[in-house]
Amino acid sequence: MKQRSFSPSSSSFISLCAALLLGAPSLANATPATMIPVPSSLSYAADSLPLGHGLVPQVEGPGSARVQQALARLDATWSRRLGGKSLTPGAGAPYLKLHYASNGPAIPVLGEDESYSLSVDASGVDIRAATDLGILRGLATLTQLPRATDQAWTLPCLRIQDSPRFAWRGLMLDVARHWMPLEVVLRNLDAMALVKLNVLHLHLSEDQGFRIESLTHPELHIQGSDGHYFTQEQIRTIIREAALRGIRVVPEFDIPGHATSWVVSHPELASLPGPYKIEREWGIFDPVLDPTKEATYALLADVLGEMCALFPDPYFHIGGDENNGVQWNANPDIQAFIREHQLVDNPGLHAHFNQRVAALLAKHGKKVMGWDEILHPKLPAQALIQSWRGPDGVREAAKAGHPVVLSNGYYIDLCYPASDHYLNDPLPEGNGLTPEQQALVLGGEATMWAEWVNPDTVDSRIWPRTAAIAERLWSPPTARDTASLYPRLDTVSDWFEAGGSLLRLPLERAVTELSGSALPEVREAVRCVLNTVEPIKRYRRGQAQPEGNQLAPLNTLADCVFPEARLARQFREAADSYLCGPDSDKGAALAALRGQLAQWRQASDLVLRSPSPALRARWELDRAARTLAELAALGQELLEAIEGGTTPGTAQVDKAKALLERAAKTNSSATEFRFLISLRRLLAVASAPTQFTSLSPEARRRLLEQRVPHDSDLP
């Protein structure tokens, strides 16, 4: 009975929540570019094509299983999202014409022609490409084009000419630290295809697991996987399904370090005596293969040779990262080997190992790929470097004549904002490379390391932020408008879900569990609070939750919220417009800030007064709601002070600073509020109004950046 006293105006509260959660109008209805990645060339006509009767496919070209499956995916996605007919053989409906001259290789290869043209007019849709791969990319664009207008779905009339900027556009999926079964890989292949990513990099061995069946040495997966591994038939399924989507599959077996799962069954090949067991914690561990033993290369010849036959791609990733040298330094025989062979030091021994492995792979027609650490003057010139440590790694590799892909800045497991990834470029201005060296920069890969994800949460960490990386790697370098990016990320999230992605599953499960059978306004309040907090950034989660390991359940507040909270981002944007934007925008920004702060206070109150306090305590939702209520009250006070021309006293300022410091501290739920910078800037202006009122918007921005740097939300 007490539940009904929570909100005197339930319907108005739900409406407010819905309006603020949805944010700005969908880009599909507001601006020209609606899809991700944005095409190379795009022009619109004024008309639109109704989709009420579906489209009639007309294929002009050789038969292609890839095209037929892409049409089936389009049909299924549109049917789930649009309802009613999508593709139909019936007469009278507009056509969907596909023109292509030839089929590309059954297994995709690096550098294929992926260009296409797409036009929509009153009679239908026309997609043209040289090969069926280009048709796939055009259909991915078409999938995202429908717009909802007056309860009807239409396609905008337009013309597109499109081709990728980079040939290598990848997603690295770590299936070793936390096991990711076949269904996770397959549904993420669909999402990759939607945004034109074309490389799936599978990280198959780690200290925590050897995740693939070996027929030559079954002891590896039997003893090193806890029973969680891909059979070779499942790998063939992944390769086949990836190829049907125009996606290459590159395997990674991390050696000589990160090798605990190898030496569980082969302790004699470690650089120090065992026994060894699978690691359950996270970090850099000592076990490393012994490069001085011929038995090491005999095992690798068997296993890697077997895997070369299984994976058709010419590139084979050998890891090569984070060997801490502890075991090599402690083994006198290994140090003697370094001296006897004039290898100088541990990096020289590592280069010796890589040369042996490269020669082994070359016998099977494979090229070596590895992380920064494999770069060495003796590395074969065709070896591809994956740079994770910084932009210097890209330059060093290219200047040394090696092809290179960038992953630094694309670590999606660190939960950074999409805008950070979006503005990170493999070839930024002033990169210092010659045209020949720039041609060696093939593209980049988003990296989904799996310390803090499981099969239920991994989609929410990959998407939609990886779509921003996909655009960076496909679209022209001039596509850098983050204001345009975020509404499109919201839109593409709907298409991801219609295509089978589970990116919203963790949050919606938490809303259901935390609100139970409560009234709708309580569910909306819980959703509001969850859409305000984010997982902590960088590598700080292990500090906040030191008990976390491979066996710990990932069911805390940090696991259900999005890496980038929409309401927190919208508040920052409104505060920036209010404090530093043109005067003409100030009124709308002020109204948005006041509305958001009021919503946060009301939502927090509803959450704290709802049933199941024990459940909220387990999730640590109470702490988040109480802190959010305090921060919202502070924001309201600061706005009133600024608008009323009153200056807070010293005691008020000190109290506000103490609250902001407390809110920024790392907590056991491993979550944070990423709008604290906006409150700090409001406090700076309220505390010293005369220093800001006479300044131009740009001068205010510069002064606020000095007083409250843009990264001040990070402790």
Annotated catalytic residues are 322
- Close Cβ partners of 16 (under 8 Å, ≥ 6 residues apart): 595, 598, 599, 602
Indicate if the pLDDT at residue 10 is higher than 80: no
pLDDT digits (tens, 9 = 90+) for 135-158: 999 999 999 999 998 778 999 999
Q: How confident is the model at residue 167 (pLDDT cuts 50, 70, 90)?
A: very high
SS3 224: helix
**Which residues, other chains included, contact 335 with Cβ-Cβ below 8 Å and sequence gap of 6+?**
328, 329
pLDDT digits (tens, 9 = 90+) for 418-429: 999 999 999 999
- Give the whole-angstrom CA distance, residue 564 versus residue 464: 10
Residues 340 and 225 in one domain: yes
Q: Are residues 16 and 101 in the same domain?
A: no
Q: What confidence score (pLDDT) does residue 379 get?
A: 94
- Which of these three, 141, 162, 183, is where a domain ends? 162
| pLDDT band with cut points at 50, 70 and 90 for residue 13 | very low
pLDDT digits over 184-215, tens only? 999 999 999 999 999 999 999 999 999 999 99
| Burial (CB count <10 Å: 0-12, 13-18, 19+), residue 259 | buried
Taking the whole predicted model, whether its pTM rises above 0.85 is answered as: yes
**Domain contains 630:** yes
Helix or strand run (H / E) with residue 315: strand 315-317
Looking at residue 715, its pLDDT comes to 52
Determine the pLDDT at residue 92.
78
> Cα(420)–Cα(486) distance, rounded to whole angstroms?
12
The answer to whether the beta carbons of residues 394 and 441 sit under 8 Å apart is: yes
pLDDT digits (tens, 9 = 90+) for 21-80: 433 333 333 335 689 999 999 999 989 999 988 999 999 999 999 999 999 999 999 999
According to the model, what pLDDT value does residue 83 have? 86
Which of 41-55, 236-250, 538-552 has the largest mean confidence? Answer: 236-250
Residue 32, pLDDT score: 53
The H or E element that residue 445 is part of is: strand 441-448
Domain assignment present for 399: yes
User: Are 138 and 96 found together in one domain?
Assistant: yes
Is 268 part of a structural domain of the chain?
yes
Fill in the amino acid letter for 111: G
Write out pLDDT tens, residues 672-684.
999 999 999 999 9
577 and 663 in a single domain? The answer is yes
Q: Is residue 514 part of a domain?
A: yes
Give a three-class secondary structure readout of 612-660. Answer: CHHHHHHHCHHHHHHHHHHHHHHHHHHHHHHHHCCCCCHHHHHHHHHHH
The answer to whether the CB of 412 falls within 8 A of the CB of 421 is: yes
> First vs last Cα of the chain: how many Å apart?
43
Judge if 130 and 256 occupy the same domain.
no
Are 135 and 195 part of one and the same domain?
no
Residue 276 has pLDDT above 90, yes or no: yes
Q: What is the pLDDT of residue 612?
A: 78
**Domain-ending residue, one of 162, 182, 199:** 162
Do residues 353 and 462 both lie within one domain? yes
d(CA 451, CA 208): 10
The pair of structure tokens assigned to 74 is 């389009």
Which residue is listed with tokens 């890969």?
445
Same domain, 463 and 365: yes
**Residue 281 and residue 207: Cα distance in Å, rounded?**
9
Predicted pLDDT of residue 713: 61
pLDDT tens for each residue of 692-704: 988 999 999 999 9
Minimum mean pLDDT range among 82-96, 108-122, 174-188, 466-480: 82-96
How far lies 4's CA from each of 527, 609, 704, in Å? 19, 11, 44
Residue 133 sits at φ, ψ, to 5 deg, of -65, -40
Instruction: Give CB contacts under 8 A, 24+ apart, made by 31-35.
Output: 31/484, 31/487, 33/484, 33/488, 34/144, 34/145, 34/147, 34/156, 34/488, 34/491, 35/141, 35/144, 35/145, 35/488, 35/492
If asked whether residues 643 and 669 sit together in one domain, one would say: yes
Q: Is a pLDDT exceeding 80 seen at residue 495?
A: yes
Residues 285-326 have pLDDT tens digits of 999 999 999 999 999 999 999 999 999 999 999 999 999 999
pLDDT band at 617 (very low <50, low <70, confident <90, very high): confident
**Are 83 and 141 in the same domain?**
yes
Q: What's the pLDDT at 613?
A: 82
Q: Which CATH number characterizes residue 61's domain? A: 3.30.379.10
Burial of 1 (0-12, 13-18, 19+ CB in 10 A): exposed
The single residue listed with the structure tokens 């990733």 is 317
Dig out the tokens for 35 from the structure.
Answer: 């899809």
Which DSSP symbol is given to 501?
-
CA distance 553 to 178: 11
Average pLDDT of 85-112?
Answer: 91
C-alpha triplet 49, 51, 57: angle, nearest 5°: 95
Q: What total of structural domains would you count in the chain? A: 3
Residue 436, exposed/middle/buried by CB under 10 A (0-12, 13-18, 19+)? Answer: exposed
In this predicted structure, what is the pLDDT of residue 86?
Answer: 86
Q: Which of 106, 127, 162 is the last residue of a domain?
A: 162
Residue 1 banded pLDDT, cuts 50, 70, 90: very low
Residue 27 has a pLDDT of 31
- Residue 398 belongs to a domain: yes
CATH assignment at residue 299: 3.20.20.80
15 and 111 share one domain:
no
pLDDT given for residue 712 in this prediction: 62
| 189, 200 Cβ separation under 8 angstroms | yes
Q: Alpha-carbon distance 275 to 269, whole Å? A: 11
Cis, peptide link before residue 256, omega less than 30° from 0: yes
| Distance from C-alpha of 56 to C-alpha of 88, rounded to nearest angstrom | 5
Which residue stretches of 225-331 are H helix? 232-244, 260-263, 294-310, 326-330
Mean pLDDT of the chain: 92
Cis peptide before 39 (omega within 30 of 0): no
Tell me the torsion sign for CA atoms 235, 238, 243, 244.
positive
491 or 26, which is more confident?
491
Q: Which domain holds residue 342?
A: 168-483
Element at 367 (helix H, strand E): strand 367-371
Q: Looking at the structure, do residues 78 and 197 belong to the same domain, yes or no?
A: no
Q: What's the rounded Cα separation, in Å, for the pair 178 and 644?
A: 54
Point out the least confidently predicted range of 287-296, 346-355, 515-524. 515-524
Would you give the DSSP letter of residue 475? S
